[in-house]
Amino acid sequence: MARARVFVVLLLASGSDAIASVGAARAPARSRARVCAMSSREPGSLKGTFAGAAVGGLLAGPLGAYLGSQLGSALGATSSRLRDERDRLAALGLTSADLKAAQDVVADFNEAEESLRLVSDTADSARARALSLAEDVDTAYASARQALADGDERGARRWLERREDASDKLARARADAAEAEARVRTMQQAVDGLAQRARDVEAVVARTVTAAAARRAASELGDEPGRPGASAVDPDDKERASDRGPFQPTFDPLEARFRELEGK
């Protein structure tokens, strides 16, 4: 879980897109889970900020941090601000369906991370209890031996009874710990699956934004077909130019007429 990740932050400033490279280390699962837990308790835009930070750390591509911040804002925004966020995403070529897909990733990721945190805490508690009971078993056995060495058979019997009781509790605690660890593995697989799902969503968003940026650039240069100001070239002219080959002069009918008159 604690893998170093490198992502590129896509910033939206004054209606134009800028791209800046940034390196970041992905936080451990429990740290991210605590962020998610905080986000579920915080109201308004602060909640969205924490949620966005979680998904921003999850995604590891050109839109990771930017998409996380945008979605975080949208999750905690008022209806007016939400419309503004959607307008900004639309300027990048995204649709409400793209936004919903990414929001679903955020919601599912938060839920899975919170569940992982809970089952991990339960597993830790079960292991700690098992260790404590194992120490009780050893202590009771050592005390029974000492009592027997001192000639205190009744005391030795009491310690052996305590040892038997602790052993029964230890067996149950170990079984509980094993079940809790199995739940941790299951939840970890769910989180890993959501990570792949987030990467898939990110790839779609990245392609959409890249295509939209290319269309805007072509429109600004006047080279996009069907746009005002686009350069129109007659296909016949292109064909004649290709037939002439490189560096061959273009046929001029007016010049040919002059030459014809000079020859008379």
CB 3 within 8 A of CB 29: no
Task: Determine, yes or no, domain membership for 257.
Answer: no
Task: Determine, yes or no, domain membership for 263.
Answer: no
CB 64 within 8 A of CB 19: no
What's the average model confidence in pLDDT over 73-93?
65
Comparing 43-57, 113-127, 162-176, 229-243, which segment has the lowest mean pLDDT? 43-57
Q: Does the pLDDT at position 246 exceed 60? A: no
Task: Determine, yes or no, domain membership for 239.
Answer: no
Given this model, what pLDDT does residue 68 score?
Answer: 55
> Does pTM top 0.75 for this prediction?
no
Read off the pLDDT of residues 100-142 as tens digits, 9 standing for 90 and up. 777 788 788 888 888 899 999 999 999 999 999 999 999 999 9
Task: Determine, yes or no, domain membership for 246.
Answer: no
CA gap 7, 25 in Å, rounded: 10
Angle (nearest 5°) at CA 208 between 205 and 210:
105
Per-residue tokens: 259: 């030459």
Q: Which residue has the higher pLDDT, 151 or 37?
A: 151
Q: Domain range holding 198?
A: 4-221
- Name the residue among 204, 138, 198, 131 with its Cα closest to residue 170: 131
Write down the mean pLDDT value for the chain: 67
Read off the pLDDT of residues 152-192 as tens digits, 9 standing for 90 and up. 899 999 999 999 999 999 999 999 999 999 999 999 998 88
Given this model, what pLDDT does residue 6 score?
Answer: 26
Task: Determine, yes or no, domain membership for 139.
Answer: yes
Task: Determine, yes or no, domain membership for 241.
Answer: no
Read off the pLDDT of residues 10-21 as tens digits, 9 standing for 90 and up. 322 223 333 333
Q: Based on the structure, what is the number of domains in the chain?
A: 1
Per-residue tokens: 58: 């999850």
Partners of residue 7 on adjacent β-strands? 22
Read off the pLDDT of residues 198-228 as tens digits, 9 standing for 90 and up. 888 878 878 888 888 888 788 777 654 554 4
